[in-house]
Amino acid sequence: MRLAREMIGAFCPDPDEVEVRALLAFCLALGSAFLAADHRGRTRAQVIARATDLILAQPPGGPSR
C-alpha cells in the first residue's frame, strides 16, 4: 500500500483520493485472480487494463503526465 500511495501521490495531490486509488489498485492486483465474472464480450485482460487506466488517470484539472 505504501508504494501504491507514493506512486499515485506523485500525480494526484488529494490525499483522500490517493488513499482510495491505492486501495483499488491493491484490490485489483490481489483480488482479480479470485473473482469469476462474465465481462459481457470483453476479455479479463481488457477489463483489467481499463480499470488500471481509471485508477491511474490524472485527476480532473491535474497536470498532464
Residue listed under C-alpha cell 483499488: 24
Per-residue confidence (pLDDT) for residue 65, from 0 to 100: 45
Whether 46 has a pLDDT exceeding 50, the answer reads yes
Residue 60 has pLDDT above 50, yes or no: yes
Cα–Cα distance, 41 to 60 (Å, whole number): 30
Greater confidence (21 vs 35) lies with 21
**Burial code of 3-24, b = ≥16 C-beta within 10 A, e = fewer?**
ebbeebbebbeeeeebeebbeb
